[in-house]
Amino acid sequence: MSKNMKIKYYGVRGSIATPGKSFEKYGGNTTCVCIETDKDLFILDAGTGIRNLGNDLLKRQFGSKEGGKAHIFFSHTHWDHIQGFPFFLPAYLPQNEFTIYGETKEIKSQDENNLERIETWSIERTLSTQQTFMFFPASTQNMGAKLKFNEINHENSIKTKTTEIKTLRIFHPNNSVAFLFDFFGKKYCFCTDVEHNDLMIEKISDFAKDADILAFDCQYTPDEYENGRKGWGHSTYEIAAEICNRAGVKNLHMIHHDPSHDDKMIDDIHKKALRLFKNTTAICEGQEFFI
């Protein structure tokens, strides 16, 4: 039995998909990561990158008569993290099975009389609403695969036969979730869409302690953050490097690139990040890693 963990990035852009020649190196698809072990396949977020992941999976067991099984984890349900789900073709095939994890949120809204009320939005309700007919021609009920929805409970880790997945609620508008995958002591930490403060830096440093890889939200430069981006829910490479140094992380993966940052700018940001933490990679769409 192999004890390697494979990580492949299918989307590393933040906020909105960004095509164009100036964005070819790092890619324009929004967040989607695939983790594979010999026993399990995990998908992190369903941004536009999940379409290409789905096409790859159809060439394997997910396109066969036997079908395949996978776990899909949602950090949160802002558009750039769910908008690819309706285009995830393996979910339309009845031989496939997906176990889906997400937080249930309590949201303030107003009724027809302008009275405030609290609405409960599960991950199932959110994905289903995205595919109502006003927005998309095929509903989640049109997806032939077996979809099993689970609420994330931060008190308990999620366990498969070989992997333990821990969760951490992190600071972002309406909150986000960080995930730590532990496969026979090999650790991959996924921490996107987070705004830093002293408490968050401390909590994430503890959460990611001794991780082999920390994939972290590096959407803004420090100057951008200090000049108009505070409160927007994202972080910088300086904070990522600080967490890695404090936590003893082996490798930093810079993700969630800002849609205004072209290849040249991300190259420059990467050079600056390397001065603070030498094992830093500015992730390109399609990159693969093994731990």
How many other CB atoms sit within 10 Å of the CB of residue 2? 9
Written as six digits, the tokens of 98 are: 């997906």
| Residue 285 domain flag | no
Is 288 part of a structural domain of the chain?
A: no
How many C-beta atoms lie closer than 10 Å to residue 28's C-beta? 20
- Residue among 89, 107, 92, 17 nearest 53 (CA): 89
Report which residue type is found at 9. Answer: Y
pLDDT tens-digit profile, the chain (291 residues): 678 999 999 999 999 999 999 999 999 999 999 999 999 999 999 999 999 999 999 999 999 999 999 999 999 999 999 999 999 999 999 999 999 999 999 888 877 777 788 999 999 999 999 999 999 999 999 999 999 999 999 999 999 989 999 999 999 999 999 999 999 999 999 999 999 999 999 999 999 999 999 999 999 999 999 999 999 999 999 999 999 999 999 999 999 999 999 999 999 999 999 999 999 999 999 999 999
Q: What is the dihedral of CA 93, 162, 184, 277, to 10 degrees?
A: 30
* 32 domain-assigned: yes
* Contacts of the segment 204-207: beta carbons below 8 A, 24+ positions apart: 204/168, 204/170, 204/178, 204/243, 204/247, 205/243, 205/246, 205/247, 206/247, 207/166, 207/168, 207/178, 207/180
Q: Which segments within 79-236 are labelled E, that is strand?
A: 97-102, 105-110, 116-121, 146-151, 158-159, 163-170, 176-183, 186-191, 213-217
Q: Does residue 287 sit within a domain?
A: no
CA–CA gap between residue 287 and residue 269 (Å, rounded) = 18
The two tokens of residue 89 are: 């073709």
Output the pLDDT for position 1.
Answer: 60
Strands 163-170 and 176-183: antiparallel
- The answer to whether 73 and 165 are in contact (CB under 8 A) is yes
Q: How many domains does the chain have?
A: 1
Q: How many CB atoms lie within 10 A of CB 222?
A: 15
Full domain range(s) for residue 238: 6-279
114 Rama sector, left if φ>0, alpha if ψ -120 to 50, beta otherwise: left
Given a contact cutoff of 8 angstroms between Cβ atoms, the answer to whether 226 and 234 are in contact is no
- Residue listed under structure tokens 């603070």: 276
CATH of the domain at 110: 3.60.15.10
Report the alpha-carbon distance of residue 194 to residue 55 in Å, rounded.
30
Closest CA to 182 of 289, 30, 40, 25: 40
In a domain, 286, yes or no: no
Can you tell me whether residue 165 is helix, strand or coil? strand
